[in-house]
Structure 1
Amino acid sequence: MERLPVIAIFDIGKTNKKLFLFDEQYRIVWEKSEQFDEITDEDGDLCDDLNRLTNWITTLLTEVVALPDFLVKAVNVSAYGASLVYIDQTGQPLAPLYNYLKAYPDHLLNQLFSAYGGESTLTRQTASPSLGSLNSGLQLYRLKYEQPDLFNKLAFALHLPQYVSHVISGWAVSDLTSIGCHTMLWDFDRQAYHQWVTDEQLDTRLAPIVASDSARLTVLGDDSLQVGVGLHDSSSALIPYLSSFQEPFVLISTGTWCVSMNPFNSRPLTPEELQYDCLNFMHYKGQPVKAARLFAGYEHEQQVKRLAEHFNVPVSQYKQVAYNPTTIDQLRHQASQVTTEQDAKGNQLLSMKGSLFGQRNLADFVTYEEAYHQLILDIISQQLISTNLVLEGSPVKRIFVDGGFGKNPIYMNLLATAFPTIEVYAASVAQASALGAALAIHQHWNSYPLPGDCVELKKYTAHAVAH
């Protein structure tokens, strides 16, 4: 029997580690998923288990290549960003895979900002809000000053997607989708590493940059296959949309974070946008993608637990709640909708930390359904601001929502109402970031044309409520 030609994609999330096999029409023909328990680093902070991850990748790939039904022609990686793996000259990791939520020392931050023109200048030039360890460049800076002995042994600091690729191919490289994503490393004005990176000689510890759609022929046992360099998962999730739609659009990718991405807006970031957690991603072809992040998936998760406890229902109860425009109309009339905080100049900013719902008294709501509608209303009031930041000044006709909120009828109906002049669609792409990583290296393994039907759409329109 002839073996089916496939591409293997490792999709490494914080929670789930997955391997998919896609056929030449980009259908998933095999998959495996694993969850690992976190371990702790030397400070007692939780982090991913790098040894276990590395062993899982090598073992599983060996198994898959030996499967009698499939011929693995290529491998690529999509993985979460903002995480660095420090390797020595032999390619062995030197330190734990530090968590991007690890607290960052204030004195190091102040030292960097005072040496290189201040926080507002540096964050604007690097299109990176100041996010502590979430700015992966700051993790490398920290290593240099806190662990100089280890820094001296360092051959390369690889972003996680490139580390996973390196485990398979032995090719140590950097890719722009990881470097260009809120790392504080890249100067978007000059399209090069920022001066602070070269002054601190961190660029000597960053592997050579190659195009994100590169691949290298690698021998694995008796087989040779093309291995891609890996992609940052948010940039990767955009690729199926870019290959399917030519008209300008915004994608709201929803998970723990709701990230609004506009690949058709390359205007420089303003200080106000940075205060609202706006940043630039890098498109896999090297173009800036204006993006704004909201921690709304996490907030939703916390608040539905609170609702379940208060109303004594299962945590998943919200999945049973249908959209009710009358309930929304009543809530809009009776409850304040936004919470504000002041910026450094005393201007009112909508608070994007948590949601107003966290401060609401649940006893004010008669039913679970009413309270849940209010939660989504509060999330949408922030989503509107977040998404508007990337819409401004670009000719967008459509908004696509993928991930969890795309399946939430209340969220989708309220979003359509919030953007009455733009077509709003729930978009589903099976495993968008994994599929994006497969499409990125299409020309290295697949002789068929790129598919134009990767994305399934469901349109939502604004509902007018009769008074």
Structure 2
Amino acid sequence: MSRTPVTAVFDIGKTNKKFFLFDENLKEVYHTYTRMEAIPDEDGFPSEPILPMRDWMLETFKNALASTEFEIKKLNFSGHGASFVHTDETGEPVTPLYDYLKPFPEDLLERFYTENGGKMSFCQQTSSPPLAMLNSGLQIYFLKYAKPEKFKNVKHCLHLPQYLSLIFTGQMVSDYTSIGCHTGLWDFSKMDYHEWLKREGIEPLLPPILPGNSLLQTKSELGSIPCGIGVHDSSGALLPYLEQEKQPFALLSTGTWAISINPFNKTPLTESELYQDCLQFLSISGEPIKISRLFIGEEHKYQVEQMYSHWNLPLGTYKKLQFDRSIYQRVADSKVKKIGFHYLKPQDYGLEKADSSDWNQFSDFTEAYYTFIHELTDIQVASLSLVLNDTQVNRVFVDGGFNANSIFLEMLRIKLPGKEIIPSDFPNGSALGAAMLVNMLS
């Protein structure tokens, strides 16, 4: 019996590690996933379980290679950003994969900005809001000065998607989509690495840059299969839309973060936009793309857990709610802010917020949840507007976790009356984008 030819993709998120097979029409025909517990780094802060993840990937891939149903013809990877794997000469990790939420020493951060012309000047040059460890390039600076004993063993610094490719190909490369992801590495005015990397002797640690649709080859023991170099997950999620859509659009890619992406906005960043977590990415070919970010997934998780605890409700209760305009109207008519956000800062967008959430002021869970989503979508609209302004974009696709939340979607429609809000047909957009990349040349 002949086997179905497929493209394999590992899609590595912070929470879920997924493996997909796509047929020749790029339709998903198989997937599996695992979750892994974080491993404390040397400071006791959670870090990515990089070695268990590598073992799971290799075992999963070898099982797929042995399948009697599928024949793997191509392989690629998508991975979360702001993550560096630091290796020795052979490609073996020599440090933990530090979490981007790990605290960055304030004195070291201040010294870095002082050495580089001041915080906001540097941020504008690199199109990177000041995000400490989330500026992943600064993680290398942190390593050099805060962990010198570890740094002396580092010979290569790879972004996570390219480390995933290294596992299977043995080759070390860099790609634009990871370099351009608020890393503090790229000077957008010069369209080259920022000069601080040369001054610190860090540039030689970064492997050569290849275009995102480049093909390498897996090691012989892994089939000598054409293999991609990996893609940053948000950039991967954009690709299916660019391929399908002929008219301008924006993408709101939701999950832990809501990433508003407008590939038709090339305007330079202003200082105020940087403060509102607006930045630029690089496309697979190195072109700038304007985006804004909002930490809505974690905010939603936190607030819903508080509500469940208060009303003693089971997990998943909010998923049973459907949009009711009368409830929305009642909530929207109240001019008093009632939600004390945990992660988000409405004041950054000129919005008010409550000091804390008093759940006793709500008649029931439904009213509380509607109020939360109402105030959350106010912030989301402000964030989205940063990339929509001054462009002829009238359609916004919503993919990821919130694309199935009718309350979230309907409130966006009400608050963006001139825009068409379209739930996405690409729920696994990052993985699909990675699959498309390795099939672009064939």
CA offsets, 1:354-392, max 9 Å, x none? x94772322221122111111110101101110000111
Q: Residue in 1 aligned with 2:241?
A: 241
The TM-score, its normalising length taken from structure 1, stands at: 0.90
Aligned counterpart, 1:369? 366
Mean CA deviation greater in 428-437 or 142-151: 142-151
Q: CA deviation at 1:151?
A: 2.5
**Counterpart pick for 1:424 among 398, 421, 425:** 421
Distance 2:216 2:278 in 1: 34
Other-structure match for 2:383 = 386
Deviation readout 1:263-316 (Å, 9 max, x if unpaired): 110111111111111111222232211111111111111111111122222232
Superposed CA RMSD: 1.9
Q: Is the 8 A contact 1:18 1:31 kept in 2?
A: yes
Helix, strand or coil: the match of 2:333? helix
Q: 2:405 aligns with which of 401, 404, 408?
A: 408
Counterpart in the other structure of 1:455: none
Cα distance 1:408–1:357, how it changes in 2: closer, same or farther (>3 A)? farther
How far apart, CA to CA, are the structure 2 residues paired with 1:106 and 1:395?
Answer: 41
* Partner SS state of residue 329, structure 1: helix
State the partner residue of 1:460: none
SS in 2 for 1:428: coil
Q: How does 1:220-235 map to 2 (within 5 A)?
A: 220-221=220-221, 223-235=223-235
* Aligned counterparts, 1:172-251, within 5 A: 172-221=172-221, 223-251=223-251
Q: Paired residue for 1:397, among 390, 394, 399? A: 394
Residue 322 of structure 1 is matched in structure 2 by 322
Residue 32 of structure 2 is matched in structure 1 by 32
* CA–CA separation in structure 1 for the residues paired with 2:180 and 2:325: 41
Q: Would you say the 8 A contact 1:340–1:349 is kept in 2?
A: no
8 Å CA contact 1:255–1:404 kept in 2: the answer is yes
Task: Sort the Cα spacing of 1:164 and 1:38 in 2 relative to 1 into closer, same or farther, 3 A.
Answer: same
Correspondence for 1:449: none
Q: 281-290 or 299-308: which moved more? A: 281-290
Distance 2:400 2:429 in 1: 9
CA distance in 2, matches of 1:63, 1:340: 48
Q: Secondary structure at the match of 2:7?
A: strand
CA distance in 2, matches of 1:19, 1:349: 38
The aligned amino acid for 1:399 is: V
Question: Which residue number corresponds to residue 430 of structure 2?
Answer: 433
Q: Following the alignment from structure 1 to structure 2, what is the Cα–Cα distance between the partners of residues 3 and 207?
A: 37
Runs of 4+ in 1 over 6 A off after TM superposition: 338-341
- Identify unmatched segments of 5+ residues in structure 1: 342-347, 447-467
State how 1:304-323 maps to structure 2 within 5 Å: 304-323=304-323
1:92-142 Cα shifts (integer Å, max 9, x gaps):
111111111110011111111111110000011111111111111110011
Give yes or no for contact 1:252–1:402 (8 Å, CA) kept in 2.
yes
CA distance in 2, matches of 1:166, 1:217: 10
Amino acid at match of 2:238: L
Which whole-Å CA distance do the structure 2 matches of 1:425 and 1:30 have between them?
Answer: 26
For the residue of structure 2 that corresponds to 1:315, the secondary structure is coil
Aligned to 1:8: 8
Partner of 1:277 in structure 2? 277
How far apart in 2 are the matches of 1:309 and 1:88?
A: 47
- Give aligned-pair identity as a percent: 41
1:68 Cα shift?
A: 1.9
Deviation, structure 1 residue 37: 1.5
- Total equivalences in the alignment: 437
Gaps of 5+ in 2: 342-346
- Aligned-partner Cα distance in 1 for 2:56–2:295: 30
Q: Give me the whole-angstrom Cα distance separating, in 1, the residues matched to 2:354 and 2:367.
A: 12
* Stretch deviating more after TM superposition (417-426 or 214-223): 214-223
Say whether the 8 Å CA contact 1:248–1:395 is kept in structure 2.
Answer: yes
Matches within 5 A, 1:135-174: 135-174=135-174
Q: Deviations over 1:169-196 (max 9, x none)?
A: 0110000100000000001111000111
Report deviation, 1:56. 1.6
Contact 1:304 1:315 in 2 (8 A): no
The structure-2 alpha-carbon separation of the partners of 1:175 and 1:400, relative to structure 1 and needing over 3 Å to count, comes to: same
Q: Is the 8 A contact 2:337 2:354 kept in 1?
A: no
Q: Report the CA distance between 1:203 and its aligned residue.
A: 0.8
- Report the CA distance shift for 1:190/1:339 in structure 2 as closer, same or farther (over 3 A): farther
Q: Deviations over 1:403-439 (max 9, x none)?
A: 1221111111110111111111111314110000000
2:354 is equivalent to residue 350 of structure 1: no
Report the equivalent of 1:133.
133
SS in 1 for 2:279: strand
Q: For residue 181 of structure 1, give the secondary structure of its aligned residue in structure 2.
A: coil
Contact preservation (8 Å) 2:292, 2:384:
yes
Preserved contact between residue 73 and residue 224 of structure 1 (Cα < 8 Å)? no
1:344 paired residue number? none
SS, match of residue 226 in structure 2: strand
2:355 & 2:421 partners in 1: Cα distance? 27
Deviation of 1:152 after TM superposition, in Å, equals 2.9
Amino acid at match of 1:111: R
Q: C-alpha separation between the residues in 2 aligned to 1:35 and 1:124?
A: 37
SS at the partner of 2:21? strand
Describe the shift of the 1:357–1:233 C-alpha distance in structure 2 as closer, same or farther (beyond 3 A). farther
Query: Which TM-score applies when normalising by structure 2?
Result: 0.95
In the alignment, which residue of structure 2 is the partner of 1:457?
none
SS at match of 1:31: strand
Write the letter of the residue equivalent to 1:212. G
Query: Contact (CA 8 Å) 1:400, 1:424: kept in 2 or not?
Result: yes
1:99 alignment partner AA:
D
Report the Cα distance in structure 2 between the residues aligned to 1:127 and 1:373, rounded to whole angstroms: 35
C-alpha distance in 2 between matches for 1:418 and 1:27: 34
Conserved 8 A contact 1:158-1:173:
yes
d(CA) in 1 for partners of 2:30, 2:404: 24
Indicate the SS of the match to 2:424. strand
Q: How does 1:47-62 map to 2 (within 5 A)?
A: 47-62=47-62
